[in-house]
Structure 1
Amino acid sequence: MRKAIPLEKRVAIALYALGSSAEYRSIANLFGVGKSTVGSEKINEYVKGFEILGFPQCLGAIDGCHIEIHPSTEDAIDYHNYKGWYSTVLLALVDARCRFIYINVGAPGRCNDSQIYEKSTLKQQLQECRLLNDMTKKNLERQHSYCYYR
């Protein structure tokens, strides 16, 4: 087994990653660790931020926003949204401090948030992230509670 990364170094990696816009690969090279190590430090920080706000086991907040556009006539039908005007959708995931973690922009206005999420790289990345499964905690109290009515 390899040696654990010292706490001071993990904190330094997390602070550097959160305070800069550098890519994981660059930060990993700077600190002499693997790219996945940098990613896991950021995920831990995101989860801790929401836990402090009273939302345990939350990674981020996600929502879509319609941005008005004026499409060409051939694309108009796809971009006509349920609100009655033409738009493109910005789907964003933010951390507990409202900083963007992920964005997807350009989907036609007729698409809803769940359709955009289903086709996004975000869904794929979350499904493949073993760290999220390892961090999941079971709430035994809730799992075994029953409600009886008289």
Structure 2
Amino acid sequence: MTGYLNGEQFGQASGIHLLYNHSDDVAFGARNEEAVLADFIASGTFSPDFWATGDLMAYDGWLDEAALYNKVLSAERIKAHFEAGNTEVAFTPGNGGDAGQVNSIVIADGNVVIEFEGILKSSPTVTGPFAPVAGAVSPYSVAPDQSAQFYLAE
């Protein structure tokens, strides 16, 4: 097993047991109480006290932009994934139609703030359909609590 940080290898360990395909929960970072871990199964210690320990095998730190893959990636592919996520894409306000446009999108106080002209519309998919956002006035502030949400102004 090989670890990478910011696209660069930082460590490697051999002797890792097989990671079997299963439908149970996955533990990544702090352990989900219901996740069954390979070393727990291998040790055979199915003690009730084991499950009662809330902080057992917890990672005490931050994970940002972490990824798990179900296949081996080359070092070049891992570096490319890091670089792709590290690339800034400049926002260029543009006229999305005759009546409206998005002027800016920023993060402020943990919310996404959209300044726009016209009627703000949103959709959970990039292809729509887009519906008017009820009560939206510019600047519109929304918590980033959805897996994906797309906006346009008309």
Give the number of the structure whose residues are more often strand, by fraction.
Answer: 2
The structure that has the greater radius of gyration is: 2
Give your verdict on TM over 0.5. Answer: no
TM value normalised by structure 2? 0.21
TM value normalised by structure 1? 0.21
Give the number of the structure whose residues are more often helix, by fraction.
Answer: 1
